[in-house]
Amino acid sequence: MSNRPIIGEFIKSPYRHGVFYSVDDIFIECPNVWDAKEWLETAKLQTRAILEQTKRGDFVVEEHLSDLVELLANLPTGQEVVIYDIGGGLGDNYVQLQRALGSELFKTIDYQIVETEQNCIDGEKFTKKFGSPPKFLKLDSLKIDDSGNKYTLVLLCGVLSYIPGWQNAIQDLCERGIKTFYITRTVFSNRVKSFFTVQFIVPSTGPYAGKYIGDCACEVINFQELKDIFKSKNFSLSKEHFLCCYREAMGNLPEPYRCTYYSSLVFEKEPS
Sort strands 81-86 and 109-115 into parallel, antiparallel or unpaired.
Answer: parallel
For residue 182, tell me if it sits in a domain.
Answer: yes
For residue 232, tell me if it sits in a domain.
Answer: yes
190 pLDDT band, cuts 50/70/90, is very high
Of the two residues 241 and 58, the one the predictor is more confident about is 241
For residue 89, tell me if it sits in a domain.
Answer: yes
Q: Torsions phi, psi of 230, nearest 5?
A: -65, -40
pLDDT, tens digit, for every residue of 192-220? 999 999 999 999 989 999 999 999 999 99
246 pLDDT band, cuts 50/70/90, is very high
Mean pLDDT score of the chain: 90
Asked whether the predicted pLDDT for residue 19 surpasses 70, the reply is yes
Contact 98, 132 (CB under 8 A): yes
Omega of the bond leading into 271 within 30 degrees of 0 (cis): no
Residue 28: the pLDDT is 64
For residue 76, tell me if it sits in a domain.
Answer: yes
For residue 195, the enclosing domain spans 16-269
Of the two residues 262 and 55, the one the predictor is more confident about is 262
For residue 144, tell me if it sits in a domain.
Answer: yes
**Domain of residue 134, CATH code:** 3.40.50.150
pLDDT, tens digit, for every residue of 28-70? 666 789 888 999 999 989 888 887 877 776 667 889 999 999 9
pLDDT, tens digit, for every residue of 214-240? 999 999 999 999 999 999 999 999 999
Residue 241: the pLDDT is 97
Residue 139: the pLDDT is 80
For residue 250, tell me if it sits in a domain.
Answer: yes
For residue 165, tell me if it sits in a domain.
Answer: yes
For residue 7, tell me if it sits in a domain.
Answer: no
The domain total for the chain is 1
Residue 230: the pLDDT is 98
CA 186/CA 200 separation, integer angstroms: 16
Asked whether the predicted pLDDT for residue 155 surpasses 60, the reply is yes
Sort strands 235-245 and 260-269 into parallel, antiparallel or unpaired.
Answer: antiparallel
Asked whether the predicted pLDDT for residue 173 surpasses 90, the reply is yes
Stretch 233-251: mean pLDDT? 96
**148-152, 200-204, 246-250: least confident range:** 148-152
Asked whether the predicted pLDDT for residue 135 surpasses 90, the reply is yes
CA 36/CA 16 separation, integer angstroms: 19
